[in-house]
Structure 1
Amino acid sequence: MSIESADYNHGVEPERALKYAIQHIRGDRAEIVEGVIEPVSPTWDHEAAAETIRDQIRARARVLGCVTGSGNLDLPGSSNWFIPDIAVVPAAAAKGAGALLPADTLLVVEVTSESNAETDRVVKRKRYAEYGAPLYLLVDRQERSVTLYSEPGQLGYTRADGPHPYGVVVRIPDPFGLELETSDL
């Protein structure tokens, strides 16, 4: 008997069990990407790039009644549980929430690392669109570029602004309506 059938026979759904386990790991944070548990342990260089973006969007997020953070995003019906580098979410939705859905966000930002660049470029881009994140900003440190994806659908984002090399100002559309400076990434 396989583990999956044993779990099923005892009423435990594999997706639910995996997501429960990921939320109860002691120490380092981890996410689930296509069924694989991956630790989230960014370098200081990675954090500096994320902070550069966060500093530029924080004031506008507050005006919109939102918070910026890296809280859990659940993708129900899939074996995915993401921890974005930055998510902008309505403050009311964030209060008391253990996890939100990508559709609950206004913007999701991922900053690539050598260990996860393809995940951010391909898997997360597709999944964030599929689960309704309206804007996905990919800061690709290996390619030294920034791409803003919008207009999500079941097959991915239908609009891409970029990739733009570092140094180009990238417009983040409404409700943000701001110009993102990328030269310090």
Structure 2
Amino acid sequence: MSAQPHEGAASYAADDPETALKYAIQHIQGDDRVQIVEGVITQVSPSWGHEKAADKIRNQIASIVSKLGCVSGSGNLDLPGTSNWYVPDVAVVPEDLADAEALTPDQTLLIVEITSDSNGDTDRIVKRRRYAEYGAPLYLLVDRQQRACTLYAAPGNLGYTRADGPHPFGTPLALPEPFGLELDTSEF
């Protein structure tokens, strides 16, 4: 039996565990989406309450996303040089990059993570640090357990240098340019 990828698929070097692992999770059969967080493979299966918050955000930013020539969704984000492969709840990316299998956090305009009971600390701590390290310009944390939102900006190797929040749900949250709008957080 061969350990080589299927014909026509992107190839990988068998001695490169990072690439092999990321290749493998992209080729899992079925509808399940998975991500890798610090080497741990986890299935992405959000609840309806989780999806409701993501939908409220997408709806509020939709017209600006369109004007910017971008798309919003939950596509794959690769963090090269690590075993991390994230599936954010919402990301805004330039439309001309949207056909890629995966993007890097610095290719986004905004990343949104919405906590669940099972992943709250991952979104609050691990992903916040990694998104900053990989240059995501804006990271919005919607913390459903704390019922608060925090917008992180100005990424650097040691983390984000600016934080706006936490603001209790119901407090309008200003998304800076290129968005330039107040996000209504009352229905998260």
Q: Same fold (TM over 0.5)?
A: yes
**The residue matched to 2:59 in structure 1 has which SS?**
helix
Relative to its length, the structure with more helix (as a share) is 1
* Residue 41 of structure 2 is aligned to residue 40 of structure 1: no
**The residue matched to 1:114 in structure 2 has which SS?**
coil
Q: CA deviation at 1:58?
A: 1.0
Cα distance between partner residues in 1 of 2:138 and 2:29: 31
Matches within 5 A, 1:56-67: 56-67=60-71
In the alignment, structure 2 segments of 5+ residues that lack a partner are 1-12
Q: CA deviation at 1:153?
A: 0.3
Cα distance between partner residues in 1 of 2:119 and 2:54: 15
- RMSD between aligned alpha carbons? 0.9
Alignment-derived partner of residue 54 in structure 1: 58
Question: TM-score, with normalisation over the residues of structure 1?
Answer: 0.93
Residues 70-112 of structure 1: CA distance to partner in whole angstroms, max 9, x if unpaired? Answer: 0000000011000000000000111x30000000000000000
Which of 90, 93, 116 is equivalent to 1:86?
A: 90
In the alignment, structure 1 segments of 5+ residues that lack a partner are 1-9
Alignment-derived partner of residue 169 in structure 2: 166
Question: TM-score, with normalisation over the residues of structure 2?
Answer: 0.92
Cα distance between partner residues in 2 of 1:126 and 1:55: 27
Alignment-derived partner of residue 15 in structure 1: 18
**The residue matched to 1:129 in structure 2 has which SS?**
helix
Cα distance between partner residues in 2 of 1:168 and 1:74: 32
Alignment-derived partner of residue 136 in structure 2: 133
Alignment-derived partner of residue 6 in structure 1: none
Alignment-derived partner of residue 180 in structure 1: 183
Q: CA deviation at 1:65?
A: 0.4
Residues 21-48 of structure 1: CA distance to partner in whole angstroms, max 9, x if unpaired? Answer: 1101122100000000000000111100
Alignment-derived partner of residue 8 in structure 2: none
- Structure 1 ranges of 4+ moved more than 6 A: none
**The residue matched to 1:158 in structure 2 has which SS?**
strand
* Residue 108 of structure 2 is aligned to residue 109 of structure 1: no
Residue identity over aligned pairs, in percent, reads 67
Q: CA deviation at 1:11?
A: 4.5
- Number of residue pairs matched by the alignment: 175
Q: CA deviation at 1:12?
A: 1.8
Which of 122, 125, 136 is equivalent to 2:125?
A: 122
